[in-house]
């Protein structure tokens, strides 16, 4: 009789312990399941990062400023990407690019342009710096139907450098005067490096370089 009572005590103790263990397992289960809930949140973040939404509108460079500070040697190096199709002496897979800055799009003699490029030329007087900048970022996106099957130069500075290099290859388009309002750094750009053909522009650039001083003078003079 007392033996069976002792047995019951121990059995009860074991059951009780088991109950506590079961509770603990359940409790830890709750903790871990909460942990799992946190993970999908991180996944969403990764998806956002790789999704790459619509590009923010780019502010056009101030050409009078950026062309003077461009790395022409780097532009020449980038131009090797173009040379599988373009030369500076004759037409190849792509048209001769000597003199392309300032040329009307789709008009290099002897080159057979796509209808897309001919259409673009019909509404675009010349390849100016901004048009080249946009075109070289994503040729097919900018000139629909173009047969220039080049992915584009995504980095703004790469495009600026290559445009500065092309400007040195028979460009008929002068570099505009810096616009200090758009880019205050323009004041620092030297106006001295202009070529003989650029004379009217050089003086324009010099005038542009003077403008910030005038603006400063205007700011600091009376009125207050």
Separation of alpha carbons 139 and 89, rounded Å: 22
Pick from 61, 64, 75, 94: which binds ligand HEC (CB under 6 A)?
A: 94
Structure letter (DSSP) for residue 188: G
**Interface pattern 52-91 for ligand HEC (x via CB under 6 A):** -----------------------------xx-xxx-----
Name the phi and psi angles at 97, rounded to 5. -100, 0
**Looking at beta carbons only, is 94 or 208 nearer to ligand HEC?**
94
Does 93 bind ligand HEC (CB under 6 A)? Our answer is yes
Contact 116, 139 (CB under 8 A): no
Minimum Å gap between C-beta 84 and ligand HEC is: 5
Backbone angles phi, psi at 210, to 5 degrees: -75, -30
Among 162, 186, 194, 201, binds ligand HEC (CB under 6 A): 162
Report the alpha-carbon distance of residue 130 to residue 102 in Å, rounded: 11
d(CA 194, CA 200): 10
The residues of the shown chain that bind ligand HEC, judged by CB under 6 A, are 81-82, 84-86, 93-95, 97, 100, 103, 105-106, 108, 113-114, 116-117, 127, 132, 136, 146-150, 153, 162
């Amino acid at each position: 009789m007392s033996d069976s009572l002792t047995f019951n005590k121990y059995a009860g103790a074991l059951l009780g312990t088991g109950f506590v263990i079961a509770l603990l397992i359940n409790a830890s289960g709750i903790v871990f399941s909460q942990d799992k809930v946190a993970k999908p949140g991180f996944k969403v973040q990764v998806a956002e990062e790789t999704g790459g939404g619509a590009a923010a509108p780019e502010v056009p460079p101030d050409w009078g400023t950026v062309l003077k500070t461009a790395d022409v040697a780097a532009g020449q190096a980038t131009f090797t990407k173009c040379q599988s199709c373009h030369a500076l002496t004759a037409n190849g897979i792509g048209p001769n690019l000597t003199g392309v800055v300032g040329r009307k799009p789709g008009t290099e003699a002897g080159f057979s342009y796509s209808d897309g490029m001919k259409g673009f030329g019909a509404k675009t007087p010349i390849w100016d710096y901004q048009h080249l900048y946009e075109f070289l970022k994503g040729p097919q996106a900018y000139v629909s139907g173009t047969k220039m099957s080049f992915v584009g130069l995504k980095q703004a500075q790469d495009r600026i450098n290559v445009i500065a290099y092309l400007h040195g290859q028979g460009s008929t388009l002068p570099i505009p005067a810096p616009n200090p309002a758009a880019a205050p750094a323009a004041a620092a750009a030297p106006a001295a490096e202009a070529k003989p053909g650029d004379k009217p522009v050089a003086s324009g650039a010099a005038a542009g370089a003077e403008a910030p001083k005038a603006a400063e003078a205007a700011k600091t003079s009376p009125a207050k």
